[in-house]
Amino acid sequence: MQVEEYLDKIAESEGTVHLTLIDPASQTPDEAADIAHAAALGGTDAIMVGGSTGAGGAILDQTLLKIKERTDKPTILFPGSAGGVSRYADAIFFMSLLNSRDISFITTNQVMGAPVVYKSGIEPISMAYLVVEPGGTVGWVGDAKLIPKHKPELAVAYALAGKYLGMHYTYLEAGSGADEPVTAEMIGAVKHVLGDNKLIVGGGIRSGKTAKLCAQAGADMIVTGTVLEESSNVTSKIEELVTAIKR
Ligand code: 1GP
């Protein structure tokens, strides 16, 4: 089964999908593999690998190879640029930062990376990537014209544009390490117009309670990264998150 089909089936039959984000720049490949293994034991559905800075090349390849030694969960690239492509992943979020002011994050990196994706045979999953206040590092690196936190109608407009351009997934990103995720009001408004298209929410989710609020508001998938880097017991933290979002 392809990764997109796998994720969609979970979203439709089990409730909200949990995605574990690992930034290859934040630890050694062996430590990344430990996190992925512990996350799989806790019930995560897939492992996203990527980051805004220093997450490409040999460290990315080694991180993926080590993760794949320790878990059968699908690995999905979450690239910060064309340098974030690796043939060792199962799939890639082939994404465009629609609210960037810099064309390189909207189309140029995609053009440079597309032939690499084609040759490697990894599965592209098309995604509109929208960065909302406060936006964190990705907001700065991606030169995003941040969507104001309390303007869900602007997020809706971008999400509709992505949907009409043919993107299957929409990602509402508050920025890694944000104090709190995007609002439930924004999640609900965006999901309402997306219909069957899938909505991913990430940035600032640290507890089962917060994850549940995002899921109940309409998130089809949630992403957590920082809380796992900070956690002394990744498996139990994932169990807390997964229990809160599954039916
Ligand atoms: C970042 O949305 C992801 O791109 C995850 O954010 O690190 O805050 O979990 P956190």
Euclidean distance between CA atoms 149 and 156, whole angstroms: 12
Asked whether 82 lines ligand 1 (CB < 6 A), one says no
Local structure of residue 122 (DSSP, 8 states): P
CA of 229, closest atom in ligand 1: 7
- Average pLDDT of the chain to the nearest whole number: 97
Query: How far separated are the first and last CA of the chain, in Å rounded?
Result: 23
Asked whether 97 lines ligand 1 (CB < 6 A), one says no
> Which CATH superfamily hosts domain 3-245?
FMN-linked oxidoreductases (3.20.20.390)
Asked whether 26 lines ligand 1 (CB < 6 A), one says no
Would the pLDDT of 100 be above 80?
yes
**pLDDT reported for residue 150:** 98
SS3 75: strand
SS3 111: helix
Would the pLDDT of 54 be above 80?
no
Residues 6 or more apart whose Cβ sits within 8 Å of residue 120: 85, 86, 87
Domains of the chain, residue spans: 3-245
pTM of this structure: 0.98
The pLDDT tens digits for 136-155 are 999 999 999 999 999 999 99
**pLDDT reported for residue 5:** 98
The pLDDT tens digits for 166-205 are 999 999 999 999 999 999 999 999 999 999 999 999 999 9
Place of tokens 């993107």: 167
- Find the 123 Cα to ligand 1 centroid distance in Å: 22
Asked whether 217 lines ligand 1 (CB < 6 A), one says no
Q: Residue 12 — pLDDT band, cuts 50, 70, 90?
A: very high
Q: Residue 56 — pLDDT band, cuts 50, 70, 90?
A: confident
